Structure 1
Amino acid sequence: MVRTERVARRVFSRLNLALLLTGALAGCGGPMEPAPSAPEPEGTQAQALTYPSGSSQTVVSRRVVYRNGSGAYQAAAGFEHFRAAGALDIALHNIRIAEVDAPAVREALVLMSAGQKISSSGHSSGVTGQASNWDASCDSVSCPNVNLDGRSLAMKLRALGLFPSGKTYLSVVNDANFDHLFDSDTKQRIVNGFSNWLQAQVRPETRAIYLAGSSRGGCLMMRVAQALRANTALDGIDLYVSSFDGVCRNSQGELGTFDSKINNPVRPWGTFYGAWATNLTAQFPRRDRLHIFHVVGGQEVAPATGIRAFSGYAGSTPPSTGTNLDWGWYKQTWVKWQHKEIGNPYTDPSASDQPQAVAETIDAHLTWLDARLP
């Protein structure tokens, strides 16, 4: 009965989508992104459907470790796993998570992370939906009134009902504080905190986990996926992972990356876009019920830093120039977009480029996920 109801919901969502695309439901379901005005040049990847926006949502983003009235650090209720993993309180204090939906029955768990905050202000994210000033209201305990944009991956997914409505746990990580420059031990403790906390959300009825993240958030979600897939107690759960130009530190061998750059085959003329190679088959030796999709551009995040996304490769040695990959359990597509445009295709590309950027990032992941869900 549950499967039948779920299939019916998805059929209804697709019907509504088709009607929206033809204009029959104009004004319902939120604003749509405009469709491309012209077909893509031959040889480029096919664009995804343009999915309707969801509703915006105002949430409270809580610190996993907060300062109490005496100024002392204290683990937040429900987030004790982070402090137990042993990272310093000063690092954990900047991790802020909003539990958007937390039902008692949890057939699916969804966790999405924005990228690393690299200045004193926040940043917008097309994955979580947070605006650039999302942290303006933060105090020592929480960040009230954080608005999540309805066009984001999180809110589109929520509206589409690809996972059971009312039975899906959804959280967004507004700041994972998964700093690229942290030492390996600190990073591992943060990964352990996230993976242990997420595993605590699993219920006997849980059948699917979906992780998504951009930039450093993409690397974090890949590493959390490693921890989840290594736990044999979760073998009956399907694990889906979306990475948007996920950035791992090659000088630390993070996610198996090393100093071999794979050039982006669709990079803009005059650029040096490319990604650090990693043997993902070795990184995920247990691949049953594992599904990963990585969209990669490979622009250097900051000039002359060597900070760029990862790329999987097939064969014994990395190629000099990459190709799109589809190994069944792992899919990777190259795009021409800048790093920040992949992270938020609604604000950073030019207005004329936004429809294609959305199609090749946010909507491409929704299309991929929908095709793989039972």
Structure 2
Amino acid sequence: MAGPLEGIKVLELSRTLAGPFCSMQLADMGAEVVKVEQPGIGDETRSYIPPEINGESTYFMSLNKNKKGITLNLKTDEGQRIVKQLVKDSDVLIENFRNGTMEKFGLGYDVLKEINPRLVYCAVSGFGRTGPMKDEPAYDLLMQGFGGFMSVTGEAGGAPVRAGYSIVDLATGLYASLGVVLALLAREKSGKGQYVESSLLETIVSLTNYLGQGVLATGKVPGRLGSAHPNLVPYQAFETKDGHVIIAVPNDWLWRKMCVALELHDLKDHPKYAVNVNRVANREELVGILTEYTKSKESSEIIERLKGAGIPSGPINDIAQLLEHPQVQYREMIQEVEHPTIGMLKMLGVPLKLSDTPGSVRKAPPLLSENTDDVLTTLGYSLEDIADFKEKGII
């Protein structure tokens, strides 16, 4: 079955994380993505080693499956002409250059929309393409700090820590892919493409969500709570005899069931703990009592008791344990694809499940310039032209 974006052609002029993650979402859903990289060097994540497989960066692989790969020197007139030819037949262009770079190449939206009025042009940036900080560089780590994320991540009183995943970059890529699909939907009605923006700044502001809304409403600034939740207790990791376990009690009904399951009957109707607002007010005292209990038990015993009573609970897996889990395997989140130099390559699957037009893992991440000759041939260039381009460093 074909993916929902089959027939959509995407030209990717992005690198590192947010832009490539955006285009990979589209590729997984059937779009034909042609990724343009710098000749001889490629996307900088090709050099993010270790880890690697046969010299290929696993970081690069994680962001570029289902894509064709070509190289073009965008600083040359011929390279720019080739991009314009590709744009004529493209539905989407994604770029994450610094502000003004595409215009310097003569490839800004105002130019490209004249070539193809149906083009959806997606610009991914750090602080947005307008405003006093539009020219500032931004990386995920910087934005975790700037965006308040690190102020609420880590243990109370501890030093600022980065989230283990590049959450701002990844979420920006997801927002960008949503923007592209929405613009394609709007094009069905208007017949015209449009300019789409997604920035790390606006993503992290959006992700403050209930914390941000709380500050706007009350002026009270939240701090670090480790694994705990600012509005719910108990809702965190607890130390056990052999490790840690997650206990998540989001309402008073489950609180009562938890107390019965763990035989903590004295706590169930205690006025300090019976309702969540009081549990939050007495957080430190209650967490201390619960920790004293959990430290006397094995993780498996606590999880078994709580799950048997319908209380949300679970282990803290490492990533290998996650990827080996039967549920992850059953949901086809680990798939294999043939790689030209590695052989069969295991890759992460497609998280969205569509019953009639599912996404799929069809192609391994491209080698540097793997598809350049084929793509240029479809544009009408001869083998002699292509050889000349290589000699001149255009491709």
The TM-score normalised by the length of structure 2 is 0.26
Structure with the largest fraction of helix? 2
Structure with the larger RCO, 1 or 2 (CA within 8 Å, 6+ apart): 2
Larger CA Rg, structure 1 vs 2:
2
